[in-house]
């Protein structure tokens, strides 16, 4: 029984971006299973569309398609026959390319954030003093995709940086996951922009093409979607939800930390992330995190001495410099 079982609902969706090792994932999954019954995504659809009621249930999913999901999560899920969902960009997987934030992570290992911020100011004609105090990811997440790609290309050319790492699984590996019967596939846009930063036309294109191309690749209806970054009213809004309805999406997932129930908006289902940069293999830590789901973001803010991405990005947006 969940430690917070007196709540109206303790149903939860847990998601991962990367999976550092088989052992890490096996331990994490084992701890999750000690509290929750693990369910397929179709049960969530039934909960939201047919008012099917259940409690202490959990669905496991993954965003992006990082190679470690294939290498370290897939074997464990297949071994114990646990259903999961993978949200991917058909463009990135088909081309064997990286997402912009993966390349940014690579670049930051070769270039300090001050130089990155100076380059941003040069290209977008803004004042360095306005952005110097903010985290580099907060800054990038306030930009249009077009500006992000221009900045990334300029930086790579200016400092002779070649991104040699391939972060994501291959097309054949994705087919293997799908054909295993373990994974359901969902769309995750084509290029992983922050949709709220884009024009209506561009946001609609990113969503529609990702659903259409993924459906063509696997000859199946794509009914599920994960918002890039996924913070409600910051990364997406009613505009994106209406576009998803036009594309026959039944469930869409956010990165808001909360439980879900039969009366949750099916196009705004919250999730809790488990990250490999946390003390994730410690079962006491995992249990503690699972017990404080609705308060997790506030706890993180305290741990990181007030550094809060949502607060920073709202401040940057108010500057109207991008």
CA 178, distance to chain mean position in Å, is 19
Question: Helix or strand or coil: residue 246?
Answer: helix
Distances (CA, A) of 208 to 7, 88, 121, 162: 37, 14, 33, 31
- Provide the pLDDT for residue 169: 98
Please state the pTM of the whole predicted model. 0.93
Q: Pull the structure tokens for residue 44.
A: 């969530």
* Structural tokens at position 143: 């930009």
Give tens-digit pLDDT for 217-235. Answer: 999 999 999 999 999 999 9
- CB atoms inside a 10 Å sphere around CB 56: 15
The DSSP symbol for 270 reads -
pLDDT for the residue numbered 302: 47
Burial call 213-235: b when 16+ CB within 10 Å, e when fewer: bbbebeeeebbbbbbbbbbeebb
**Residue 114's Cα: distance from chain center in Å?**
26
pLDDT score at 53: 81
Residues of the chain with pLDDT under 70: 1-8, 276-282, 294-307
> CB-based contacts of 281: which residues, under 8 Å, 6+ apart?
23, 24, 27, 28
**Cα 40 to chain centroid, rounded:** 18
What pLDDT shows up at residue 305? Answer: 46
Buried b vs exposed e over 170-199: b needs ≥16 C-beta within 10 Å?
Answer: eeebbeebbeeebbbbbbbbbbbbbbbbbe
| pLDDT given for residue 294 in this prediction | 66
pLDDT for residue 133: 95
| Predicted pLDDT of residue 8 | 64
User: Given the structure tokens 């769309």, which residue do they identify?
Assistant: 187
Domain 12-94+176-291: give its CATH superfamily: Glycoside hydrolase/deacetylase (3.20.20.370)
Domain positions in the chain: 12-94+176-291, 100-166+307-322
């Amino acid at each position: 029984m969940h430690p917070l079982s007196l709540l109206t609902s303790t149903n939860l969706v847990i998601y991962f971006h990367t999976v550092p090792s088989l052992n890490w994932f096996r331990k994490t999954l084992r701890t999750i299973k000690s509290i929750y019954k693990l369910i397929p995504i179709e049960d969530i659809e039934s909960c939201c569309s047919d008012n099917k009621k259940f409690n202490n249930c959990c669905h496991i999913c993954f965003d992006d398609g990082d190679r470690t999901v294939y290498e370290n999560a897939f074997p464990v899920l297949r071994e114990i026959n646990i259903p999961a969902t993978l949200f991917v960009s058909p463009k990135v997987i088909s081309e064997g390319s990286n997402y912009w934030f993966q390349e940014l992570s690579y670049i930051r290992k070769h270039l300090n954030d001050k130089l990155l911020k100076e380059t941003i100011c040069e290209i977008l004609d803004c004042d360095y003093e306005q952005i110097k105090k903010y985290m580099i990811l907060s800054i990038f997440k306030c930009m249009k995709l077009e500006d992000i790609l221009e900045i990334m290309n300029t930086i790579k050319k200016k400092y002779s940086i070649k991104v040699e790492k391939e972060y994501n699984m291959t097309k054949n590996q994705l087919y293997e996951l799908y054909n295993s019967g373990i994974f359901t596939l969902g769309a995750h846009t084509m290029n992983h922009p922050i949709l709220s930063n884009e024009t209506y036309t561009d946001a609609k294109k990113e969503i529609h093409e990702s659903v259409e191309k993924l459906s063509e690749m696997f000859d199946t209806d794509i009914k599920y979607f994960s918002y890039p970054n996924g913070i409600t009213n910051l990364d997406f809004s009613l505009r994106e939800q209406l576009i998803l309805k036009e594309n026959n999406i039944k469930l869409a997932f956010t990165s808001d930390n909360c439980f879900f129930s039969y009366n949750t908006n099916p196009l705004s289902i919250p999730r809790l992330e488990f990250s490999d940069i946390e003390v994730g293999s410690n079962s006491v830590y995992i249990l503690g995190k699972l017990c404080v789901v609705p308060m997790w973001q506030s706890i993180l803010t305290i741990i990181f001495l007030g550094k809060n991405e949502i607060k920073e990005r709202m401040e940057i947006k108010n500057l109207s410099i991008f």
